[in-house]
Every structure is written in C-alpha cells, then in structure tokens.
Amino acid sequence: MKVLLAKRAGFCFGVKRATQMAFEAAGIDKTTYTLGPIIHSPQVVNKLEEMGVKVLKNLDTMDRGTIIIRSHGVASHEIEEAVQKQLEIVDATCPFVKKAQEHVKRLSETGYGVVVVGDADHPEVQGIVSYGGDKVFVVGSGEEVSKLPKMNKIGVVAQTTQSFENLKNVVSECLLRGGEIRVFNTICDATAIRQEEAKELAYQVDCMLVVGGFNSANTRRLSEVCVEIQPRTHHIETAAEIDPGWFSGVERVGVTAGASTPKWIIDEVVSRIEELNKSN
C-alpha cells in the first residue's frame, strides 16, 4: 500500500505563527492564558495546557498575567478590556484576519455601511464585525443582500475562508443597490489551495484520510470535499482512530490535513499506516 501525502497538508501560515507565539509565551510566567482555544486543534490546546496555559472564555476572572489572542481573532472590546486591565497581550491574530478587522474599522469610520461575507456564528466573523460601527451586516450569500437596509456607500469584506465565488455574488448584488462600493478581497487562499490539493489526491487513491480537529470547520469541509470524490474517506483527529479494516483491498491511501493540524499528528498517522502495511 502506498501512502500519498498532500503537499500542503496541515498548518497554514497564520496557525503556524499563532502556535509558535503561544508556545514561546507558555514559558513566560504561570499566569498565561489563551482567550478561546488558540487554534482548532484539541491536541495543541492540550499540549499548551500541560505547559500551564489554560483557555479562558472571557477575561472576567483575569486581573494579571499574559493573554494570548487566538489566530482567528477576538472582539475589539476584549482587546480593550485586556489593555484596561494592563495584561500582557500576545496578539497571535493572523495578519490576514487583522486586515479584515482594520478594513471594517476604516470603512465604518468613513461612513460606509459594511457587508461582511461569512458565517455570522463563526468567532472570526464576530470579531471582524466588532471593529465596525452600527452599520455592519453579515451575509452568507448574495440572496441575503436584498434584506439589508438601504445604503449609498457600501464596503465589502469577507471572512478569510470564504469562496471567491460567494464574494463575487455578494458584490454583484451590492452593485445593484449602492451608489458607491468598495470591495476588499480579504479571502485567504490557504483553504482553497488545501481543498484543491485534497480533491486531486482523492481522485488518485482508494481510501482517503483527512486529519484534524472535529471542531475545525476547514478540516470538516476538506473531508466533505474528499467524500464526494472518494466515498472511502475518513475524518480522524489522531492515529489512534485508524481502523485497519479501512485498508482492505486498498493500494493507495491519501492523507491530507486541515490548516490547524500539527505536523506531529500527520507524521503519526503516516507512521501508523506504514506500520499496518508492514504487519500485513
């Protein structure tokens, strides 16, 4: 059985950076926390906990120490609270997410109604929205634009993981409504690239493993994309979940991983498959 690993499986730039910053901060003092999980990988979160870095839901109970801001950002009032409490802030917000937050802030300040293309329930989007004024609206698709109040000046930004197609649809709808439109393409291509590679791989193999947190939306999406092409696709978090029965009659197995999956977990998965291969 041959194992084919997707070229860009695992950490994207922003997640790699955030994880590095968190591990570096972990040694600083005994009162280091992350505001929400640093990335969507329970294994990384557990490792940090073992090093004394706990996850906080909010800053209510924190009055000193270091707070690490997760890769997909937090709400502006949470940063303000941390500043007010004079906490040490390690801002691991991905620079691409930060760009979207800054555009919303500037657009709002200069009188634009802002349309954020994305999933209103996602913490990244909630964070982005918080940087604007009272005229910031989240839409999931072009159809939802018709429900928005009338605006003459419209600014558009997107959640970093949105598809270009969806952003384009929303912009077309906005063009039918506003007099002046400013569009900032804040989509990060890390997600799209991983999906394209995963698709290509799924066509070449008899079984596909997608590795990553069950709470990671981009890993779940990768798995959905693969299952459409290769029904023998399994989403796993760790090597321990591999069922040897999955490989019966399989000649080529593909492995890919979400943007928040650490390399050590991918390596363990590949080693486990190779181990099973030898014992057969």
Q: Would you list which residues are annotated within the binding site for dimethylallyl diphosphate?
A: 40, 72, 122, 216, 218, 260
Tally of CB atoms within 10 A around 278 = 7
DSSP string, 35-93: ES-SSS-HHHHHHHHHTT-EEESSSTT--SSEEEEPTT---HHHHHHHHHTT-EEEE--
Residues 252 and 243 sit within 8 Å (Cβ to Cβ): no
Region 196-225 residues binding ligand F3S, contact defined as CB under 6 A: none
Residue number with CB closer to ligand F3S (70 or 135):
70
Residue number with CB closer to ligand F3S (94 or 236):
94
Given the residues 78, 81, 124, 173, select the one marked as catalytic: 124
Does residue 78 have an active-site annotation?
A: no
DSSP 207: E
Interface pick for ligand F3S out of 5, 6, 9, 14 (rule CB under 6 A): 14
Q: How far is the CB of 264 from ligand F3S (least distance, A)?
A: 19
> Dihedrals φ, ψ of 42, to 5°?
-55, -30
| Residue 184 Cα to chain centre, angstroms | 19
| Residue 107 Cα to chain centre, angstroms | 24
Q: Is 160 in the site for ligand F3S (CB under 6 A)?
A: yes
Q: How far is the CB of 221 from ligand F3S (least distance, A)?
A: 12
Only one of the segments 9-17, 51-59, 165-173, 197-205 lies at the binding site for ligand F3S (rule: CB under 6 A); that segment is 9-17
Q: Which residues bind ligand F3S (CB under 6 A)?
A: 12-15, 71, 94, 96-97, 160, 188, 190-191, 259
